[in-house]
Amino acid sequence: GRGVPDLAGFAGIFRGAGMVSLGGNLRDIARLEESIGKEEEKVRGDQDALNRMADDAIREAEAEVAAAKKRMADKKKMLKSEAEDKEEEATDAAVAALMSGEGMADSQKRRPSSATTAKEADKQ
């Protein structure tokens, strides 16, 4: 809200500009005040509209960032579970190889001697 306009000041300004008669045409001043008020309202409206647009743009950008972060997290999760799956497959393959005849035969050929010597060493 605005205070009471300084009509004498206005009259002086416009008298100097030759727009207002020496008597100070208060009606012209009032009209001028009104049009200034309308301009100010328009500017305020424009500012509000710009602020709304800026807020919308910010919200949109934040939503895009959030979506991108979620995509990254999902991708990371997917890659991690793929890596875990591959690790599991490799472990399964190793276990399968050990349990197959060759794997067991190889390990049995090597181990018993060392195992028996270890047991004998314990006894002595």
- Assign 3-class secondary structure to 74-110: HHHHHHHHHHHHHHHHHHHHHHHHHHCHHHHHHHHHH
Tokens 């910010």 appear where?
A: 58
pTM for the model stands at 0.39
- Any idea where the domains of the chain sit in the sequence? 7-110
Put residue 25 in one of left, alpha, beta given phi > 0 → left and psi -120 to 50 → alpha: beta
Residue 9 pLDDT > 70, yes or no? no
pLDDT digits (tens, 9 = 90+) for 15-55: 555 554 544 577 788 888 899 989 999 999 999 999 999 99
Please report the beta strands in 1-124, taking only residues with DSSP state E, as ranges in sequence order.
none
pLDDT digits (tens, 9 = 90+) for 83-115: 999 999 999 999 998 888 654 555 555 555 555
What's the CA gap between 116 and 22, in Å, rounded? 127
